[in-house]
Amino acid sequence: MTDRRNFVKQISTAGLLGAIPNVLLSEPHRFAPQQKISNDKIWACLLHLSYNFWVEYSTPSPFRGYRPYLQLSESLWNDAAKKMVDQGINMVVIDLGDGVKYESHPEIAVNNAWSTSRLRQELAKFRKMGIEPIPKLNFAAGHDIWLGKYSRMVSTDIYYGVCKDLIKEVAELFDHPRFFHLGMDEENAEDQKWLNHVVIRQHDLWWHDFYFFVEQVERSGCRSWIWSDYLWKHPEEFFNKMPKSVIQSNWYYEESFDEKLVPVKAYMDLESKGYDQIPTGGYYKKSGEGAKNMGNTVEFSNTHIADPRLLGFLQTFWAPTTEENRGSILKAIGLLGESKKWYDTHRIKAG
């Protein structure tokens, strides 16, 4: 694996040295040690406070595109939390984005964004319910419209400063959580072909910025957590440069687990290379299609990922936390609960 010192040398040779934040030019900061978790697996749901991931699409889309206001039903938010408790869910990953009026950068907040004191109250409520809250800020260049004007300043000094401030403040708001989800998915031409404004980092610049984010997370005492789809198209580069300290959430939302499919094979490749994983499923189709995805994800992982490296599972729902999505969101939580019950009786602990 390429360590950080050698990577700095490589990108220096490539002419990118002037773009490297000073923190990477000093003695390499060690990645945070792998933290031990309890014998209980993580059973997590992704809950959206903010849903500003995409700039406007060139074609109509019901959920994609920037909204200058908070898209949130507080009644559904509270009911989702209660449903998690009922289903034995022990973690919630909160997509924050521009849904909080940060003290460091209040200018990115949407209308009706939560104050930092309100966020702390909600985090305390989750903890009292036995649910561990984890922050998520997606810094992928195709999903960062929540950064406002800074989303068009990617890889500049101003951008690095804003991202550093936000990671530090969010870690403090969450009382320095175990994990910090950085997103980092779908930063490629294919996934941005319908966007009106396209920003793509690739090759050494992608890794340079990724290491920068990880550095900031670790300095706040947290462990980085990302989506793993960069692996799908760049397997050799990924395994040469991806630190083992970073938790991998490979994601796959279909019901068939044909091992020849690239996203399915990625679970096995990550296991063969010794990465800690939190496999990720999804349920977001009102038709009910995909209802077996999470159960199949759990069953597949139970037989293909060794117990010590299988940290748990994450259920996603890709639509705003609004009343029109109530049934599907609560259903997604229930599907994770059902999968947990299956796993508790079929768990393979060897490996």
The pLDDT, as a whole number, for residue 289 is 72
Cα separation, 235 vs 226, whole angstroms: 16
- Bridge partners of 282, per DSSP, are 316
Q: What proportion of the chain, given as a percentage, has pLDDT over 90? A: 81
**pLDDT digit string, tens, across residues 130-185:** 999 999 999 999 999 999 999 999 999 999 999 999 999 999 999 999 999 999 99
CB-based contact 135:94 (threshold 8 Å): yes
User: What is the rounded end-to-end Cα distance, in angstroms, of the chain?
Assistant: 23
Cα separation, 289 vs 283, whole angstroms: 8
**pLDDT digit string, tens, across residues 252-307:** 999 999 999 999 999 999 999 999 999 999 997 655 678 999 999 999 999 999 99
Q: What is the pTM of this model?
A: 0.91
Stretch (H or E) spanning 95: strand 91-95
- pLDDT range class, residue 57, cuts 50, 70, 90: confident
**pLDDT digit string, tens, across residues 183-228:** 999 999 999 998 889 999 999 999 999 999 999 999 999 999 999 9
DSSP codes joined into one string, 191-233: GGTTBSS-----HHHHHHHHHHHHHHHHHTT-EEEEE-THHHH
The pLDDT, as a whole number, for residue 348 is 87
Cα separation, 25 vs 9, whole angstroms: 10
Cα separation, 76 vs 93, whole angstroms: 16
The pLDDT, as a whole number, for residue 22 is 47
Stretch (H or E) spanning 300: helix 293-304
Domains and CATH numbers, the chain: 38-346 (3.20.20.80)
